[in-house]
Amino acid sequence: MEQERLPPKRSYTIPCARRFRDAFQALARRRGVNVADLARSVLLLVPRAVIEAFPDPGGPAKDDRETVIVRSGPAKGRPWRRKPRIQVRLGPGYSDSLVRSAMALALALSEGEARIRVEDGSSGRDADDAVDEAGTRPRRPDGEIGKEFGRLRALVSALSFDPLPEGVRTRADALHVLGFAPESVPGAQEVRTRFRLLATVHHPDGRYGSHLRMSQLNAAMGLLRARAA
């Protein structure tokens, strides 16, 4: 059977404020992915109408410029003042405004400032929820589309943790639930940020929600707060 192929990707140069660009790049580094994967995970897994309704932070202000050194051409080696931008490779058909809104939504989700319920991927294909004609067995999409969605879904599953069978009882348990090493000493702000991120994934109202994981997240935060008091 011929494999279904994704449309070829194109390079987008998205003008944006330096502070916004730097924050998005830092988020991608913390998640261990590149900026394109982070943007694409929102654009493919969140309904387009939700992204369009999220405010576009817009391009850079007139005085927001950066100096770079020209790497090729007649002006090679010379400094050049330009608008800040971020470059990503995505499928065709996205506007600068939509990509910026997707990036802004990713930042808001990471800080716990927004929460969404993802019902379906924008393409209508879902690797886990599709069923065969008898309605009895999940089937996975073939080819490149299946691989793409599997990789993006992995960004979500990577945030999951194995619930502790006896619950959160010790500081080490709490650190495990929040994704920190057992002997680490994260700061209060780092703990709150991690909790908000995980809560957006595991809240029972969400697509990937889990009552058990959410209750253990709450227990972990309560224990660490009590120990810090």
Q: Judge if pTM exceeds 0.75.
A: no
Map tokens 């294909």 to a residue. Answer: 125
Structural contact between residues 26 and 90, judged by C-beta atoms closer than 8 angstroms: no
- Residue 185 pLDDT class (50, 70, 90 cuts): confident
More confident residue, 134 or 215: 215
Per the CATH hierarchy, to which homologous superfamily does domain 160-229 belong?
DnaJ domain (1.10.287.110)
Residue 168 has what pLDDT? Answer: 92
What is the C-alpha to C-alpha distance for residues 29 and 174, in angstroms, rounded to an integer? 24
- Residues 106-148: tens digit of each pLDDT: 888 877 665 655 444 333 333 333 333 333 333 444 455 555 5
- Residues 10-67: tens digit of each pLDDT: 899 999 999 999 999 998 888 778 888 889 888 877 778 888 888 899 999 999 998 8
What is the C-alpha to C-alpha distance for residues 50 and 105, in angstroms, rounded to an integer? 9
Contacts of 83-86 with CB under 8 Å at 24 or more apart are 83/15, 83/59, 84/15, 84/16, 84/17, 84/18, 84/21, 84/60, 85/13, 85/14, 85/15, 85/16, 85/21, 86/13, 86/14, 86/16, 86/21, 86/24, 86/25, 86/35
Domain boundaries in the chain?
Answer: 7-118, 125-158, 160-229
What is the C-alpha to C-alpha distance for residues 127 and 175, in angstroms, rounded to an integer? 31
Q: 38-47, 162-171, 218-227: which range is least confident on average?
A: 38-47
- Residue 101 pLDDT class (50, 70, 90 cuts): very high
> Which one of 109-113, 195-199, 203-207 scores highest in mean pLDDT?
195-199
Residue 229 has what pLDDT? Answer: 65
Quick one: what percent of the chain has pLDDT higher than 70? 73
Q: Dihedral of the CA atoms 153, 158, 164, 167 (nearest 10)?
A: -90
CA distances from 87 to 18, 21, 143, 187 (A): 13, 10, 27, 32
Residue 136 has what pLDDT? Answer: 38
Residue 192 has what pLDDT? Answer: 85
Residue 153 has what pLDDT? Answer: 56
Please determine, for residue 209, whether its predicted confidence score (pLDDT) is greater than 70: yes
What is the C-alpha to C-alpha distance for residues 25 and 17, in angstroms, rounded to an integer? 12
Mean pLDDT estimate for the chain: 76
Residue 68 in 3-state DSSP?
strand
DSSP class of residue 131 equals B
CA angle, 153 as apex, 6 and 85 as ends, to 5°? 70
Residue 149 has what pLDDT? Answer: 57
What is the C-alpha to C-alpha distance for residues 37 and 60, in angstroms, rounded to an integer? 23
- Residue 79 pLDDT class (50, 70, 90 cuts): confident
Q: Pick from 129, 103, 81: which is nearest to 31 by CA?
A: 103
Residue 138 has what pLDDT? Answer: 39
Tell whether the torsion through CA atoms of 26, 9, 96 and 79 is positive or negative: positive
Residue 146 has what pLDDT? Answer: 58
